[in-house]
Amino acid sequence: MAPILVDNSKSSTAERETYVDNGFVHIKNPHLDMLSEDILYHFDLGTKTHDLPSMFGDVKFVCVGGSPNRMRSFALFIHNELGLDGDGNNIVDICAGTDRYSMYKVGPVLSISHGMGIPSISIMLHELIKLLHHAKCRDVTLIRIGTSGGIGIEPGTVVITDIAVDAFFRPQFEQIILDKVVVRNTQLHQELAKDLLECSREISSFPTIIGHTMCTYDFYEGQGRLDGALCSFSKEEKFEYLRKAYAAGVRNIEMESSVFAAMCHLCGLKAAVVCVTLLNRLEGDQICHSHGVLTEFQSRPQQLIATYIKKQLGVCT
């Protein structure tokens, strides 16, 4: 049976079931209305067991990233940057009852880990978007801060994604739903991307650019690496592919941006993807920097987002 293709990538309303109105996240999934309780299983939270509006109602920024440790560090960092009371050591993992994701709340900022790859971040986003709805959050901005491989740019460069593209450089994400391939738009919020680039001008210690981000299903063969356990292509084919990606406007490669962009776009959420590049893929495949260099690189998107959040909240630096 050939799969049925449903192309919703050009229409913003074709399947919009969740939308932002008056700043609130509305969910129109009729099946959810039938539930007497909504259990956000992978967060270990629920509408009956937790008072979600009082726990999360004041959230304005949700920052997500792959690693639980990195998102804890970000929570501590933003705590200091916002000048909140205490030394931050009492910040607890709200999802401590599960080891699927970690979640920290620091004032109006939520910091959540999403693991690696499209399936992992997609599950997290379903539960996060329902959480924002149940908690009656208003005017929320979502930002993915992560790592990536650069193409033709200096390692350590921060790339703000304008649009996420797939492995064929198409600005779309294909979600398989029942027996259909549903094509979704991966456009990110252009004004937010520009505002973030503007913010980066205030931090002179590292380069920041806007570019397309390619999202893949794999780190090795899927990103044209020669150093996986398997490799079914030549060095020449690898470079031809990466050069084509560069010519198509791709400046970095990672593994979550397409579904993140598609889900946020469909739900009308203001969203950005900001990733540091750990290497230049035209120069190699292995990540050989010292732990210290990698830690400093990974702090760069955090510094940029902290600057942006402080500006939005009117916190003086």
Tell me how far apart the alpha carbons of residues 267 and 278 are, in angstroms, rounded to a whole number. Answer: 31
CB of 98 to ligand R2B, least distance (A): 19
Which DSSP state fits 287? -
66 touches which of ligand R2B, ligand URA, none (CB within 5 to 8 A by kind)? ligand R2B
In eight-state DSSP terms, residue 156 is T
How many C-beta atoms lie closer than 10 Å to residue 140's C-beta? 23
Smallest distance, ligand R2B to C-beta of residue 112, A: 14
Site for ligand URA in 217-246 (CB under 6 A): 219, 223
The number of angstroms, rounded, from the C-alpha of 179 to the middle of its chain's C-alpha atoms is 27
Q: Which residues between 257 and 276 bind ligand R2B (CB under 6 A)?
A: none
Classified as helix, coil or strand, 307 is: helix
Single residue of 255, 264, 269, 273 touching ligand URA by CB under 6 A:
255
> How far is residue 197's CA from residue 202's CA, in Å, rounded to a whole number?
9
Block residue for tokens 């079914």: 232
Comparing CB distances to ligand R2B, the nearer of 159 and 267 is 159
The residue (of 44 and 256) whose beta carbon lies closer to ligand R2B is 256
Footprint on residues 54-73 left by ligand R2B (CB under 6 A): 66
How far apart CA 265 and CA 260 sit, in angstroms, is: 8
d(CA 221, CA 229): 9
Question: What's the rounded Cα separation, in Å, for the pair 306 and 301?
Answer: 8
149 binds, among ligand URA, ligand R2B, none (CB under 5 to 8 A by kind): ligand URA
Residue 181 near residue 174 (C-beta atoms within 8 A): yes
Smallest distance, ligand URA to C-beta of residue 307, A: 23
Site for ligand R2B contains 285 (CB under 6 A): no
Q: What residue number has its CB nearest to ligand URA?
A: 149
Pairwise CA distance, residues 77 & 303, whole Å: 9
Residue 116 binding target from ligand R2B, ligand URA, none, CB below 5 to 8 Å by type: ligand R2B
Contact residues for 132 (Cβ-Cβ < 8 A; gap 6+): 25, 56, 59, 62, 140
Selected binder of ligand R2B within 147, 161, 252, 298 (CB under 6 A): 147
Binding of ligand R2B by 256 (CB under 6 A) = yes
Residue where the block lists tokens 């790339």: 159
Contact letters (x/-) for ligand URA, 102-141, by CB under 6 A?
A: ----------------------------------------
- Contacting positions for ligand R2B (CB under 6 A): 66, 116, 146-148, 219, 254-256
- Contacting positions for ligand URA (CB under 6 A): 147-149, 219, 223, 253-255, 278
